[in-house]
């Protein structure tokens, strides 16, 4: 089938290549002309035969909204827009309603696979009406990993991005657990080869995982991670996961703590710890360190 693909960065560019390898035609547009197959969204739409399917892979929020707004003016009744970025599920509901008024279908798709997706395939979680999903199914089949698993029609519009959001929340907590274990192992004198301890866990243990494999890769590159600064950003999906937990009264202590740990990583000198140090000094006479 034919596909229009908007956004050809690290993920989108590799997705274009994987879809083409499966025998489909992809016409890609990106603001960077060095990456694009066409010079505008209009040219991309004009080159596609109807009913058209256009997949959007641009940053969540204003960029996605602007792209969908423009596509809403260019596409025709019976066409489909797929949002494969990291949009919030509530935005999906809004976009679906806006496009439905023009007779244009909408499918949201959470995509996981990162830079490894070109060769390994992408885990896909998509939401939307069955009829709309069916029109995109050949592309889902081209992108997913080989085998029976790796893609799911998670439910109605918004379900795909909601599932991907929870996936990323779990990812936050798993990474935090590996990181805390690594720091503790590095701290004690009795363990003399932390990297090889991590490597030994790759086989036969219940905590083996792809994330563990990636941790070992990182330690092979920089055994004590001395080249890195202890700073971790968050994409927003961890926050949305915690907010959804609050809205639904679901306790998520591990995921919430992992998100807050990332916030702490951005503080060179924690204001909270200043208060704790002051209080310990006040009630117990514990020593405090002066700022430099």
What order of strands is seen across the sheet that includes strand 53-56? 25-29, 2-6, 53-56, 80-83, 105-112, 123-127, 151-155
Q: Specify the DSSP class assigned to residue 34.
A: T
Cβ neighbours of residue 162 closer than 8 Å, sequence gap 6 or more: 89, 127, 154, 244
Catalytic residue among 164, 186, 223, 227: 164
DSSP H or E stretch at residue 141 = helix 130-143
Q: Is 164 a catalytic residue?
A: yes
What span, in angstroms and rounded, lies between the C-alpha atoms of 257 and 270?
16
CA end-to-end distance (rounded Å), the chain: 64
What span, in angstroms and rounded, lies between the C-alpha atoms of 7 and 54?
11
Residue 26 φ/ψ, nearest 5 degrees: -120, 125
- Half-sphere CA count of 124, side-chain side, radius 13 A: 29
For the beta carbon of residue 147, count every other beta carbon within 10 angstroms.
7
Catalytic residue among 2, 70, 93, 171: 171
Q: Is 10 a catalytic residue?
A: no
What span, in angstroms and rounded, lies between the C-alpha atoms of 58 and 28?
12
Q: Which residues are known to be catalytic? A: 164, 171
């Amino acid at each position: 089938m034919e596909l229009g693909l908007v956004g050809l960065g690290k993920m989108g560019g590799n997705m274009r290549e994987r879809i083409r390898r499966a025998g489909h035609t992809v016409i890609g547009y990106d603001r960077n002309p060095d990456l694009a197959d066409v010079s505008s969204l209009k040219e991309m739409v004009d080159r596609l035969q109807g009913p058209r399917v256009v997949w959007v892979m641009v940053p969540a929020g204003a960029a996605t909204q602007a792209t969908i707004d423009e596509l809403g003016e260019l596409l025709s009744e019976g066409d489909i827009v797929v949002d494969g970025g990291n949009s919030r599920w509530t935005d999906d509901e809004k976009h679906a309603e806006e496009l439905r008024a023009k007779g244009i279908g909408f499918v949201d798709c959470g995509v996981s696979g990162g830079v490894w997706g070109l060769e390994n395939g992408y885990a896909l979680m998509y939401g939307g009406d069955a009829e709309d999903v069916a029109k995109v199914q050949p592309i889902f089949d081209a992108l997913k990993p080989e085998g029976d698993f790796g893609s799911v029609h998670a439910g109605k519009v918004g379900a795909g991005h909601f599932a991907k959001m929870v996936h990323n929340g779990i990812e936050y907590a798993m990474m935090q657990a590996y990181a805390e274990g690594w720091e503790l192992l590095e701290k004690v004198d009795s363990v003399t080869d932390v990297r090889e301890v991590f490597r030994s866990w790759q086989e036969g243990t219940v905590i083996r995982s792809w994330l563990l494999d990636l941790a070992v890769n990182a330690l092979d590159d920089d055994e004590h991670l001395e080249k890195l600064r202890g700073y971790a950003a968050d994409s927003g999906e961890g926050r949305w996961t915690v907010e959804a937990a609050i809205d639904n009264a679901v306790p998520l202590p591990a995921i919430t703590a992992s998100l807050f740990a990332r916030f702490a990583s951005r503080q060179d000198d924690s204001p909270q710890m200043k208060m704790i140090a002051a209080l310990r000094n006040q009630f117990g006479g514990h020593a405090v360190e002066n700022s430099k």
